[in-house]
Amino acid sequence: MLKGISPLISPELLKILCEMGHGDEIVIADGNFPAESVGKNAKVIRMDGHNVPEVLKAVLELIPLDQYVERPVSLMDRVPGDSADVSVWKEYEKIIFAAEGKGMESVNMLERFEFYRQAESAYAIIATGERRQYANVILKKGCVLG
């Protein structure tokens, strides 16, 4: 255990967040996301039993979002005609604002298969046990300034 770091952050995840450089991406995936097949070229971290908002908050306490792109966060958009509840996106907005002072203007909405294509090039994928649909998030890491 370390002081000041969420107990959700395992040694493996802490190492991965440290290894990531400016512009690298990490996916925080819901339980339905094909993490192992999409992440066959990435590091996949299992965090079953945890939901995406709590993991998102813990990760954003440690890494900055990319300051040099307009939309450093990507979400999987709802498939047309799907009426799935996406209220989890409001939770993300609050977490992102608390961590970075940015709102939904910093979020890119990607069509499902476009999201998968972007996720294939991610440095790492965190596979959570999140049960809500469309709860997947891609974060582009920024620079620690100062």
For residues 15 and 9, the answer to whether their CB atoms sit within 8 Å is: no
With respect to residue 43, please indicate whether it lies within any of the assigned structural domains. Answer: yes
Q: Could you tell me the CATH number of the domain that includes residue 104?
A: 3.40.1650.10
Nearest CA-CA partner of 59 in 93, 28, 35: 28
Structure pTM?
A: 0.96
State the total domains in the chain.
1
Q: How far apart are CA 54 and CA 138, in angstroms?
A: 15
Catalytic residue IDs: 22, 66, 116
Residue 4 lies in a domain: no
- 126 belongs to a structural domain: yes
Instruction: Give a yes or no: residue 7 inside a domain.
Output: no
How would you write the pLDDT of the chain (146 residues) with one tens digit per residue? 789 999 999 999 999 999 999 999 999 999 999 999 999 999 999 999 999 999 999 999 999 999 999 999 999 999 999 999 999 999 999 999 999 999 999 999 999 999 999 999 999 999 999 999 999 999 999 999 87
Whole domain around residue 73: which residue ranges? 24-140
Q: At a CB cut-off of 8 Å and minimum separation 6, what does 92 contact?
A: 52, 53, 56, 73, 75, 107, 137
